[in-house]
Amino acid sequence: MENIRKERVLKGKIQFLIKWVGYSEHQNTWEIFKHLEECDKLLEEFRIRLKRVKTAKRKIKKYYERGSSGIVRIKKFNYII
């Protein structure tokens, strides 16, 4: 196993999209948590990466707003120099 790409819940079970060493991206497979119990390090790395992405997305959202016409624009800033 190279790393974990995504996570989903299907029929009440957590699944992870696995990138296999030596295989292309289109050969990734969804595996249930039970099959990954021995991969604590990869699971921990994935959780840390996921947390960073969510934090970054929240920060970016703070700086954008959607107008009534649906157009996204950057909020105005006051710069102190």
Q: What is the 3-state secondary structure (H, E, C) of 2-65?
A: CEEEEEEEECCEEEEEEECCCCCHHHCEEEEHHHHCCCHHHHHHHHHHHHHHHHHHHHHHHCEE
**Res 69 pLDDT > 80:** no
The chain-wide mean pLDDT, for the chain, equals: 80
**What dotted CATH number matches 3-64?**
2.40.50.40
- For the stretch 36-68, pLDDT in tens is 878 888 888 888 888 888 887 777 766 666 666
Q: What pLDDT is recorded for position 50?
A: 86
Q: What pLDDT is recorded for position 18?
A: 93
Quote the pTM value.
0.62
Under the banding of pLDDT at 50, 70 and 90, the label for residue 81 is very low
**H or E element in which residue 72 lies:** strand 72-74
Residue 18 contacts residue 1 (beta carbons within 8 Å): yes
